[in-house]
Homo-oligomer: A and B are copies of this chain.
Amino acid sequence: MNGENFCLSEKIVSSSYVRQGSQARRGHEQLIRVLLEQGKCPEEGWSEATIELFLNELAVMDSNNFLGNCGVGEREGRVASSLVAKRHYRLIHGIGRSGDIAAIQPKAAGSSLLNKLTNSVVLDILKLAGVRSAASCFVVPMATGMSLTLCFLTLRHRRPGARYIIWPRIDQKSCFKSMVTAGFEPVVIENVLEGDELRTNLEAVQRKIDELGAENILCLHSTTSCFAPRIPDRLEELAVICAKHNIPHVVNNAYGIQSSKCMHLIQQGARVGRIDAFVQSLDKNFMVPVGGAIIAGFDEDFVEEISKMYPGRASASPSLDVLITLLTLGASGYRKLLSERKELFCHLSQELSALAQQYGERLLHTPHNPISLAMSLSSLQTHGGAITQLGSMLFTRQVSGARVVQMGVEQTISGHTFRGFMSHSESYPYPYLNAASAIGITCDDVALCIKRLDKCLKSLRRETGDSEHVTDPAPLTEVRAKRNLNGLGYLMELRIVFFCS
């Protein structure tokens, strides 16, 4: 309510109460002011009340919500279903204009603000998460694969003669398809085995560049986050090679924001060499629904070039989701999620290692992979079908995300045949099982996964006599909160979680 309405209210209820109410309103306005002024993720999360107030204010600024609007265009933001209108907070016009996904819409000042603020808040978080020198980014309502395609399509206009994309192998279909869809020929670089880890073959990369000619290469397409035993690419070295040969470098950082290691690799790569763009998923890093990605880079102009390559308007839904989420969490809440993930990664690693020992298997030694773990399944190898059976047993028992990788699978995608598919290598020496500690994982997830995996393995062995008990995991200690109580001092909150039988 504006000043006039507060005055009128004072005639109805006591003016001192109304004045306090009006002051309270200013509290919310103040939070919004800081957001508009700084364009940063607030340190402390907002209440749902403030968030909804803010979104309603934005919606009021869009022409489809003008009380006196009359529309005679072909796109007026009308909504047939009130369920639909409400779930979008009546923000209907999407983001961008025909020329540019980052452009401002005359019909939709509120949606335009939403778009600009989201990109700004997300950039702030990318910096907080480790890529401190990121210059620009934008949220795009397409998943990582299609977003990579858009980057490649943009580069085509800079390097019209180029045909190839150099790509250290990672066995994930959409990465591969992102290049094929853009109309380029992926040049697959097999990884090298170092201990248990599969790692970028720098020499092979260099060799391929020499062989094909830098001018014929659209870009190098590297990967950070990946399933163990593959580990993040050697970004620093690759970035240096790219700089040397003047080859663009696009990084698939799909779920890497959640790992300080992945973010550090990108920051370092850009510092010592060349990285043109890095692309990450919204859902995998920010716990929002599938369907959005962030395209970021170190050169504002290039990022803008990509955003101008997207023809037409786009859905505001992923932007809305990530903005709501980040305002809810605040920077402190996001940092807390990151640190919890890290701790539970250690916990999962210990648990899995202990379980592996009991069954004569081992946790593969992949210290460079900060998110994904792999446990060998050598003993199941000899029994035909035991490995796939384990996979379907886990599925039935509602263990989701634990995937089994057999040896010797062959798969052809868009004309290219991958031997040893899913293992990132033509001949990885063991079959294995992957488990990951991704953002939002809980202690319960780990405990239930280990318990059910234990049961499945036991039942596969058909030996009940020798099964030892799971060893108790180490206690987790965590500083849950350190709140500055308005100068009163600090309120510390520790959380200690441990098992007892």
Contact = CB atoms under 8 A, between A and B. Distances in A.
Given A74-B401, A82-B48, A116 B13 contact: yes
Counting chain A residues whose Cβ lies within 8 A of the other chain, the interface size class is: 35 or more
Contacts of A376: none
Nearest to A179: B311
Question: 3 closest A-B pairs (Cβ-Cβ)?
Answer: A73-B401, A291-B315, A94-B290
A161 interface: no
Interface string A85-107: 01110111111011100001111
Interface in A86-137: 86-88, 90-95, 97-99, 104-110, 112-113, 116-117
A71 interface: yes
Nearest to A8: B36
**Copy number of this protein in the oligomer?**
4
A74 B283 contact: no
B90 A49 contact: yes
B181 A311 contact: yes
B495 A141 contact: no
A288 B80 contact: yes
B490 A109 contact: no
A486 interface: yes
A335 interface: no
Interface stretch (A143-151, A194-202, A204-212, A268-276): A143-151
A201 to B, nearest CB: 24
A257 to B, nearest CB: 12
Interface stretch (A233-241, A382-390, A443-451, A459-467): A443-451
Best-surrounded residue of A18, A56, A81, A500 (most CB of chain B within 10 A): A81
Contacts of A431: none
Interface string A5-47: 1001100111001101110111111011100110100000001
Contacts of A287: 78-81
Contacts of A14: 104, 106, 109
A403 interface: yes
A62 B21 contact: yes
Contact of A72 (B91, B148, B437, B470): B437
A14 B472 CA distance: 39
Given A77-B283, A97-B173, A143-B311, 12 more contacts: A1-B32, A1-B57, A17-B61, A52-B83, A56-B56, A66-B398, A74-B254, A146-B312, A153-B182, A181-B309, A447-B486, A470-B488
Nearest to A476: B493
Which of A8, A70, A106, A485 is the most central at the interface, judged by chain B CB atoms within 10 Å of its CB?
Answer: A70
A88 B287 CA distance: 13
